[in-house]
Amino acid sequence: MAHSSLPTKAKAAAHPQPEAAKPPAAVERDARLMATLTNSVFVLTVLACMAAAHWLVDLLTPLMVAVFSLILIDALARQVGRLAPAMPDWSRVGVAFVMISLVLVGAGALVAHSLPRFATDMVDGMTAVQQLGAQLTSNLDLPPFARFEPLDLHPYFTDLLHSLRRVATDLVLVLVYLGFILASRRNFDHKVSLLFPTPKSHQHAQRVFRRVRKGAERYVLLQTLKGLLLGAIFWVVLKAFGLHDAMFLSFIVFLASFIPILGPAAAVAIPVILALAQYGLNWRPILMFVSLQAAVVAIDSVLIPRLQGERLDVDPVVVLVSLSFWSLVFGVIGALFSTVLTVVVIAIASESPRLRWLAIVLSKKGDAGLPEAG
């Protein structure tokens, strides 16, 4: 009997029976485990990329400014093409590049010229505000713990001036990056076709690129319009009140308009502080505050939402969180471009099935971000 069973066992070993199919519960458990591992790897990858970006911030900041300058160049080139359809594409891009370059060079020269006097005026202004606060709290006979105590503001202004000075010096790198990016644009389509060889993957890449460009371009142009309007109004008001360095303050207002939530408040506070230092506490700083605040409310809360409509689908809480997050990663430039960077993240995530949850969480209405560009 023992010898008769050997061939049977050998045959069973030569022809193993197929494994029994896993029960549906086990299959579902394995799928959940794989999804968890995939999401964990994705989160760790994102955190590693953010840490690398923070470590390379001095290198990436001029590149980021150059990329967003390229967005403005493309928009200007299309406008020039509408005005002069006969112009070739390279000449339209060249005209737009010269315009943006002149703006960047002029901004750098303005900062370099006006920064020392602005720093001195701000220190004097904040000293006057502190003295006024200490006087008011003393006159109100408040308890000692509630009284206004003078602060040493020099370290804060030193950091601010260092950041502004670095922005001015980085403009040279911005122009270099911008020139090389424009020179390599002609090979962009060829590189995309090599990276995405199949028609389906190529169409998907083009769709993602259109979403990113549309969302970023819309936001940058809208905020640029807002900044120009606020800067022009502030210049008129500051000139009317005889405040020093009205042009530089208007430029600061233009930059501050790109910072959500905190930008409009800073745009009003800085001129009022300087007016307190120049005129003291009288009717001029008060009337200036009322005039500037009315302009900010009219443009930031009435005009821009009407122009923007529902096209910028970013949750307000996400706007505040993104301001802190991108400021932590990229500093002042991160604060300026915090919302547009979030718009880019929504545009990319909305085109990926694995990342669509991120677009839903970040978007205001939960409909996976911006509508696709036509």
pLDDT averaged over every residue in the chain = 75
Predicted local confidence at residue 158, as pLDDT: 67
Per-position DSSP letters for 158-177, written without gaps between them: HHHHHHHHHHHHHHHHHHHH
Gyration radius (Cα) of the chain, Å: 29
Per-residue confidence (pLDDT) for residue 152, from 0 to 100: 61
What is the arithmetic mean of pLDDT over 159-182? 74
Residues contacting 137, CB < 8 A, separation 6+? 146, 147, 148
Q: Does residue 174 carry a pLDDT above 50?
A: yes
Encoded tokens for 324: 């802190």
Rounded mean pLDDT, 345-359: 77
* Tokens 């990436």 -> residue: 60
The pLDDT confidence band at residue 21, using thresholds 50, 70 and 90, is low
Strands (E), 130-256: none
pLDDT at 164: 64
Q: For 257-292, write each residue's pLDDT tens digit.
A: 888 777 877 788 888 888 877 777 778 888 888 888
Q: Which of 44-48, 136-140, 161-165 has the highest mean pLDDT?
A: 44-48
Cβ(101)–Cβ(176) below 8 Å: no
Q: What is the mean pLDDT of residues 326-336?
A: 80
What are the CA-CA distances from residue 316 to residues 83, 263, 299, 339 (Å)? Answer: 37, 15, 18, 10
The one-letter amino acid at 20: A
Using a 10 angstrom Cβ sphere, with 0-12 exposed, 13-18 middle and 19 or more buried, the burial of residue 326 is buried
Read off the pLDDT of each residue in 134-148 and give the average, rounded to a whole number. Answer: 64
Q: Is the pLDDT of residue 296 over 80?
A: yes
Amino acid at 285: P
